[in-house]
Structure 1
Amino acid sequence: MSIIVGYVPTAEGTAALDRAISEAHKSQSRLVIINSSRGDAIVDKRYAQAQDINEVTERLEKEGIDHLVLQPVRGNDAASEVLEAAEKYRAELIVIGLRKRTPVGKLIMGSTAQQILLEASCLVLAVKAGA
């Protein structure tokens, strides 16, 4: 079994990673970090750079967490990548970070978190930065 975390290099992504690490310690589960990009933009601020991934990897190794870091760029949205990883790695839990959005922003852009919450076949833990 494993814990999947949707990671982006933001305060929300860090909050999700922190909580996922805590849950992995408790359950002695493998932690699978998903940081994806559709690959349709020259610059994707949500796609972690090598330095970000190295810092995450060093932290997980230091804490003794069995882990796998995946950065797929296959044209899929982040929710699809997280949900696919949850199925593939038999997730017992998905951890995601939430950010505040306006009602209009939710209507126009949709919600990755909402899609994961509605479609996941396992438990989903949503955390806020600073909470």
Structure 2
Amino acid sequence: MTVLVGYLPTPEGDAAFAAALDEAVRRSESLLLINSPRGGAPISADVAAPDDLAHLSAKAVEAGVPLEIRQISHSGEFSDTLLAAADEAGASVIVIGLRRRSPVGKLFLGSTAQQILLNAGRPVLAVKPPHR
């Protein structure tokens, strides 16, 4: 089995990776990291830099966890891409990071995390970064 983590190069993504790595160690499973920029965007802040990925890989090696990194672009909803990857990998759990948002922001913007929580056919671990 595999622990799957949706990763963005943000504090929320870092919190998700840390929780996913801990979960993979606890379960004695491998870790699959999905970093998925929107397809067709000329520049995307969602793409993890090679140095960031090397740092995450080093953390996984240090923890003794096999890590697979997939950088696949998506054209629709990211939640669909993540859930399809979870199904394909047979993930035992999905780990996602949550942003702090106001109630009004949630009302008008929708939530990728909400779609993952509602549509996942497996457990989802949702984490927040430490409060700054």
TM-score scaled by length of structure 1: 0.92
Q: Which runs of 5+ in 2 are unaligned?
A: none
- In 2, the alpha carbon distance for the partners of 1:68 and 1:117 equals 23
1:123 aligns with 2:123: yes
Q: Which amino acid aligns with 1:102?
A: S
Report the aligned-residue RMSD.
Answer: 1.4
Structure 1, unmatched stretches of 5+, are: none
- 2:27 maps to 27
SS in 2 for 1:47: coil
The percentage of counterpart residues that share the same residue type is: 42
Q: Tell me, in whole angstroms, the C-alpha distance in 2 between the residues paired with 1:124 and 1:2.
A: 13
Q: Which moved more, 1:107-116 or 1:27-36?
A: 107-116
Provide the aligned length of Structure 1 versus Structure 2: 131
TM-score normalized by structure 2? 0.91
After TM superposition, the runs of 4+ consecutive aligned structure 1 residues lying more than 3 A away are none
For residues 26-105 of structure 1, the aligned pairs below 5 Å read: 26-105=26-105
> Is the contact made by 1:34 and 1:81 (CA closer than 8 Å) also made in structure 2?
no
CA distance in 2, matches of 1:50, 1:78: 21
> Structure 2: how far apart are the matches of 1:109 and 1:42?
23
Contact 2:83 2:116 in 1 (8 A): yes
